[in-house]
Structure 1
């Protein structure tokens, strides 16, 4: 029987699984409606007690279904949230269990397409799950490995996601190249400097070709949060003061509402009571009333989805009109590319510093990088793409399959390790 080698790219925003078998090139498996990507989302319906995944999960929620939506669940790895619980009807579900439920559905769908069990896997991981905390970073990988092994995979290994993207791109190179891979996804920005060539691709040990890796825990969900805090949360009272002018309103609820994996923290009686108290003290109580209505209606993820849509729209146009309307809340404001650029000043500076540290670790100048390989959906954000091109102006830019290259490279790595 031909051995099937499996690679899984479990992403903050989207996930893929790819397989390689019989010496053939790897392929991405269709995981939802014939598409190889599936959003990393779970929706627990209160109406029919079913659990929905991916686009269907988001569709149920956006369509007004009563239930609980969880997104960006990868972000809990290595944090205190991993062992926390969230209320789903009468149950208190641990985030670790929600993670296992989603990964289990990925495996079930992949095996249904493949027509047999998958028992060995190489999982992608960011260069750093958690910045500047090696213990938390190691714990994040341990947590992910434990969740994967619990699903029945007998052999589980890991590879850095930007290295996987490099291995996928390497299949098309004709000569030797010194490349920097920029993998900027929903939760992390990772960079690898690596030597590539057809001859090197056949080597069993690629460690001599790997010159440096570096990563920072910023990505697309951070971009959403920062854009929301800059342009949308002020419509709900963020940045305003109490009526007596003595202090600003508490910022924590706005931060939670703007952060995908923290939104559910607001959905409890204590948080609502605190928000109503804030409304009474506010200089602009009508703005805070909108915030209260959003939390009462559990509309946080829907609002975050509209912010994400606005960010994506600014990849192709200089401005967009943000609109969010329900029975109780109506928000509207223009957002320009200058707003997004200003919101992302901190993350782009962190990305620039991380690339610089990778070059220093590799002991080379930016001018020696021949190829800049872009992967991950957040490389399409103009402020990010422009920064990368400015930092490596002499490099040839290659835009890979933004959502598939990591999974394909992981399957190649699985074939090398397990073949």
Structure 2
């Protein structure tokens, strides 16, 4: 940390980055790095919960994913943040024979995140600055406000007495600012699991000690497109056709696509495991022209392996950031089944999404009334910011900006800790 931040006192508040895919907690203090170790020496905690039915316990993070993949009976829930702003948030689901409200699910994970942060820090905390996307919900101010209020209520329910919020790209900017030696005009691009958010902000060593930075923030914009959407489009384009998407019934009608869309979307995977869906699929299988493909789908549903396939898809997306092709081992669905996914086909599938993200970059420039050539630096963070097609689109829009890659999973959390110090001071 630089001299604008404390060296002799703990901040009274911590920063919490509750992410769609991963979460972090950070705290300005004189004893250790701001980002706290949350699981197995790592500063990230995957935003996942597994309700283990065999051993009647609840697991979080990497352990949740591991127990699910090891084959324990139970229910895996991931992409929890996607519930905020959706119609599901006031609903409920069934977990191991018990009714679980979705608000209680969020409280379970955020409460665990709080406990782990306190354990790592060695002290309790009741005040926090939470990160939030520029828009939880696109083009709906009332729904967006309700999503923030819901997150605040859940956080307070698990013991955070005082909660405030900071836009995630602004938090990332505060973290980047610690490295600067001169003033820069920066466009921050945070490509997270559920949203892509952008801010244009003036940063400098002289400005960073100020408690109030509103005048430095020139514009914010965001769109509800993120890493899970890129996963979904990769799955629908290159993996779900192996299970029958796009194939025909004997009546020449298409096999219903709703099953595949639900399997390709993290927070709707569990909806495919109902008895009603299983009975429907028996009828579809009998009428299918390509029964081998539907047999793979039935195997997937029978084994409740939808999250396993989603994890394979996510790993393929990551691999395609640095390779032209990636081979998936799908032997779980059919012995010896290997399938190559191609970066060229992936980029074709996500081109429209990338275009929408590009339009959002253009919009934030327009809102700031700043020509693209005046941007000194494009600072990128977020787990999906490494996608090659996105980087190309950014380069086209900001051809003169220096590209700086932040800590893809830690910049926001560390920046929220800085915001927490400035907002609440030591204590």
Q: Would you say same fold, with TM above 0.5?
A: yes
The 1:202–1:3 alpha-carbon spacing in structure 2 relative to 1, beyond 3 Å, is closer
The 1:52–1:135 alpha-carbon spacing in structure 2 relative to 1, beyond 3 Å, is same
Q: Is the 1:100–1:148 contact (alpha carbons within 8 Å) kept by the matching residues of 2?
A: yes
Summarize the alignment of residues 89-100 of structure 1 with structure 2, pairs less than 5 Å apart. 89-100=96-107
Name whichever of 381-390 and 43-52 sits farther off: 381-390
Query: Which residue, 349, 370, 378 being the options, matches 1:372?
Result: 378
Which 4+ residue blocks in structure 1 deviate beyond 6 angstroms?
none
Q: Is the 2:49–2:60 contact (alpha carbons within 8 Å) kept by the matching residues of 1?
A: yes
Summarize the alignment of residues 241-252 of structure 1 with structure 2, pairs less than 5 Å apart. 241-245=248-252, 247-252=253-258
- 1:129 aligned residue: 136
Query: Which residue, 338, 342, 360 being the options, matches 1:336?
Result: 342
Query: Which residue, 16, 22, 39 being the options, matches 1:8?
Result: 16
- 1:301 aligned residue: 307
Q: Is the 2:84–2:150 contact (alpha carbons within 8 Å) kept by the matching residues of 1?
A: yes
Cα deviation digits, residues 335-364 of structure 1 (max 9, x gap): 111011011111100010000000000001
Q: Post-superposition shift, 1:83?
A: 2.1
Cα deviation digits, residues 242-294 of structure 1 (max 9, x gap): 2121x222111100001111101111101111122222222222211211221
Q: Post-superposition shift, 1:63?
A: 1.3
Q: 2: CA distance between counterparts of 1:175 and 1:366? A: 20
The alignment covers a number of residue pairs equal to 417
Name whichever of 110-119 and 400-409 sits farther off: 110-119
Q: 2: CA distance between counterparts of 1:224 and 1:327? A: 19
Summarize the alignment of residues 11-410 of structure 1 with structure 2, pairs less than 5 Å apart. 11-21=19-29, 27-245=34-252, 247-326=253-332, 331-410=337-416
**Secondary structure at 2:15 match in 1:** strand
Q: Post-superposition shift, 1:3?
A: 4.4
Q: Post-superposition shift, 1:2?
A: 4.6
Q: Post-superposition shift, 1:26?
A: 6.0
Length-normalised TM-score, structure 1? 0.97
Length-normalised TM-score, structure 2? 0.95
**Secondary structure at 1:60 match in 2:** helix
Q: Which runs of 5+ in 2 are unaligned?
A: 1-8
Q: 2: CA distance between counterparts of 1:84 and 1:289? A: 32
